[in-house]
């Protein structure tokens, strides 16, 4: 089992420090990062937290999944690798002109 966790349905006021504090109750937090929108600078409402080991990650899932944070019921589970993109625009061609 991985020690990297996905945390979803976060309130938009959540930040890295508050995330780290909440997860530290379950063990060593090696990283905590709220994903931010690059254009607006606002939280996207999800984050990734890496715990010291798999047992601590499991304890955090058991303790925090479904917990109410800022009026929202958060989702905590093992982070899965991003699915490879299928290039929805014709196999990777982004609709622009091709360079010959």
**pLDDT at residue 99 in the model:** 56
Instruction: Find the mean pLDDT for residues 1-24.
Output: 94
Residue 20, pLDDT > 80, answer yes
Q: Which domains does the chain have, with CATH numbers?
A: 4-78 (3.30.70.330)
Find the largest Cα–Cα distance for the chain.
57
pLDDT higher for 90 or 81? Answer: 81
Taking Cα atoms as reference points, which of 4, 7, 6 lies closest to residue 73? 7
**Three-state DSSP class for 97?**
coil
As a whole number of angstroms, the distance between CA 51 and CA 43 comes to 21
- Is the pLDDT at 14 greater than 80? The verdict is yes
d(C-alpha 72, C-alpha 95), whole Å: 39
Q: Is the dihedral of CA 86, 89, 93, 94 positive or negative?
A: negative
Three-state DSSP state, 41: coil
How high is the pLDDT of residue 81? Answer: 82
pTM of the complete model: 0.80
Say which residues have a Cβ less than 8 Å from residue 41's Cβ, sequence separation at least 6. Answer: none
pLDDT tens digits, one per residue of 28-87: 999 999 999 999 999 999 999 999 999 999 999 999 999 999 899 999 999 988 777 666
96 has pLDDT over 80: no
């Amino acid at each position: 089992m991985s020690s990297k966790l996905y945390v979803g349905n976060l309130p938009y006021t959540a930040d890295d420090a508050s995330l780290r504090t909440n997860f530290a109750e379950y063990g060593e937090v090696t990283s905590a990062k709220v994903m931010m929108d690059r254009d607006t600078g606002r939280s996207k409402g999800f984050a990734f937290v890496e715990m010291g080991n798999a047992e601590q990650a499991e304890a955090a899932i058991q303790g925090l999944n479904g917990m109410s944070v800022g009026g929202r019921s958060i989702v905590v589970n093992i982070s899965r690798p991003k699915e490879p993109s299928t290039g929805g625009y014709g196999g990777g061609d982004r609709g622009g002109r091709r360079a010959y």
